[in-house]
Amino acid sequence: MLRVREFSAVGYRSLRKIVCPVSYLEVFVGGNGVGKTNLYRALELIRAAAANTLGLELAQEGMASAFWAGQRRSGPARIALEVSLSDPEARGAARGVYRYHVEIGFPARPTAAFDLEPQIKEEWLSYDGGGRQVRLMDRRGPSVMARDEDGRPVEIDIDLLASETVLGRLQDPSRYPMLDMVRRTLLEWRFYHDLRTDAGSPLRRPCPAAATPTLASDGSNLAAVFATLAHVRQDTHDLDQAIAEAFPGARLVVPQPGRTASFGMVFAEFPDRVFEPEELSDGTLRFLGLAGALLAYRLPPFVALNEPEASLHPHLMAPLARLVTRAAERAQIWLVTHSEALAEAVDQSGIGQVRTVVKQDGATWIQGLSLLGEFADET
């Protein structure tokens, strides 16, 4: 899969215009209201473009409130999202850069559309193999061009609503292999911000027993993720170590699955009793969910975490940081947090980059970032 090299957003909520390089581990820390979650959400919307749900998700947000609220240049309001990707294994001229760009705005008048419906105004995918940029796909209004398997530009006859993305609708991998590779990469991304711990949380329920390499975004297959490590991979060393670091003397119990998979915890104070998920504290359960996300059999190429420290005791920040840095050996990690302790623990590991998010003239910004998208301490 392709690695994220750079991300940019223009006109989305508090993101007036920001271009940010992306390393293997990025930690964003800052106070309430500075826009950390907007950075996270803008990346999530890029994945939505690949899933063809971008228009729907912006409509659910409320398109009018999704626009940058400050002053802007004349012309219609637009949200522009862009990501650059490359193959981390390629070398030399083969290590080209794919750049996907999508712009969203309100319908023009007159048009057959809902008044506040998000519509795709511009969308393209390019490839730069070393100085020469080639458009692999270009959409302007109803017209769509894409390069086929032989590299020839062809006009595509596609039934495409104005609220739909070409990347999400174009599903002919043999004819458009590069577009398909980018789309599949984005669809593999995972965003973890809804690992609920209430009484009805999916984390507390058994799930169907099927080998499961990756945790779902809502954690509903956590028991199967643990069972896959324990009974398919037969290697829970990292998971056992993480639990021992977080809860000294405790251990995870993962029975051989029948129709469903389940798990429990044994604590040092009660060595003969297995505590079922519905009995676990919110903090214990949330840490187990994060362990499932970051230590699963197969990690997505890109994992984003939004405020993973919620419900966790401060003494769990160091074990959580070790979970994150271990995961960064197998995937790119993008972490947004309020916790200075978590950010400091990651920073002390010497792995990844810790960024401070601030507000400048009402806009979200990252300390040390230049307008050209470079960090002063990395140039």
In a domain, 307, yes or no: no
Q: What is the mean pLDDT of the segment spanning 97-106? A: 95
Indicate the average pLDDT of the chain.
93
In a domain, 350, yes or no: no
Same domain, 7 and 147: yes
Same domain, 100 and 213: no
In a domain, 231, yes or no: yes
pLDDT of residue 223: 98
Q: Which helix (H) or strand (E) holds 322?
A: helix 317-327
Same domain, 153 and 215: no
In a domain, 31, yes or no: yes
- pLDDT band, very low/low/confident/very high, at 121 (cuts 50, 70, 90): very high
In a domain, 141, yes or no: yes
Number of folded domains that form the chain: 2
Task: For residue 10, give the 3-state DSSP assignment.
Answer: strand
Write the Ramachandran bin of 62: left for phi over 0, alpha for psi from -120 to 50, otherwise beta. Answer: left
CA dist 238 to 46, 252, 265, 296, Å? 32, 12, 16, 10
Of 141-155, 188-202, 222-236, the one with minimum mean pLDDT is 141-155
Residue 165 in tokens = 């993305």
Q: Which of 283, 299, 315 is the last residue before a domain boundary?
A: 299
Distance in angstroms (rounded) separating the CA atoms of residues 264 and 235: 17
Give the distance, in angstroms, between the CA of residue 35 and the centroid of all CA atoms in the same chain: 16
Same domain, 30 and 174: yes
Residue 278 in tokens = 């519905």
Distance in angstroms (rounded) separating the CA atoms of residues 225 and 300: 14
Of 32-46, 105-119, 188-202, the one with minimum mean pLDDT is 105-119
Same domain, 154 and 202: no
**Shortest CA distance to 206 belongs to which of 253, 261, 258?**
261
Can you give the residue range of the structural domain that contains 51?
3-189+355-378
Residues in the chain: 379
**Which residues have a Cβ under 8 Å from the Cβ of 31 and sit 6 or more positions away?**
338
DSSP state letters, 54-65: HHHHHHHH-HHH
Distance in angstroms (rounded) separating the CA atoms of residues 212 and 195: 17
Alpha helices in 88-228 (DSSP H): 166-169, 177-188, 222-227
Q: Give residue-wise pLDDT tens across range 285-329.
A: 999 999 999 999 999 999 999 999 999 999 999 999 999 999 999
Q: Is the pLDDT of residue 114 over 90?
A: no
Distance in angstroms (rounded) separating the CA atoms of residues 171 and 123: 16
Same domain, 46 and 75: yes
- pLDDT band, very low/low/confident/very high, at 199 (cuts 50, 70, 90): very high
Distance in angstroms (rounded) separating the CA atoms of residues 330 and 24: 9
Same domain, 176 and 70: yes
- What type of residue sits at position 9? A
Same domain, 173 and 202: no
In a domain, 239, yes or no: yes
Distance in angstroms (rounded) separating the CA atoms of residues 29 and 183: 30
> Is it true that the peptide bond before 213 is cis, omega within 30 degrees of 0?
no
Q: Which helix (H) or strand (E) holds 292?
A: helix 282-294
Q: Give residue-wise pLDDT tens across range 139-156.
A: 987 789 999 888 899 998
DSSP state letters, 29-78: E--TTSSHHHHHHHHHHHHHHHHT-HHHHHHHH-HHHHB--S---SS--E
Residue 169 in tokens = 């609708």
pLDDT of residue 220: 97
φ, ψ at 66 (rounded to 5°): -80, -20
Bridge partners (DSSP) listed for residue 29? 337, 356
Q: Is the pLDDT of residue 92 over 80?
A: no
In a domain, 327, yes or no: no
Same domain, 100 and 218: no
Same domain, 9 and 95: yes
Q: Which of 299, 328, 346 is the last residue before a domain boundary?
A: 299
**Which residues have a Cβ under 8 Å from the Cβ of 14 and sit 6 or more positions away?**
34, 35, 38, 68, 359, 362, 363, 364
Same domain, 38 and 116: yes
Same domain, 30 and 148: yes
Q: Which of 299, 322, 346 is the last residue before a domain boundary?
A: 299
Task: For residue 98, give the 3-state DSSP assignment.
Answer: strand
**Which residues have a Cβ under 8 Å from the Cβ of 71 and sit 6 or more positions away?**
none
Bridge partners (DSSP) listed for residue 30? none
In a domain, 337, yes or no: no
pLDDT of residue 157: 85
Q: Is the pLDDT of residue 254 over 90?
A: yes
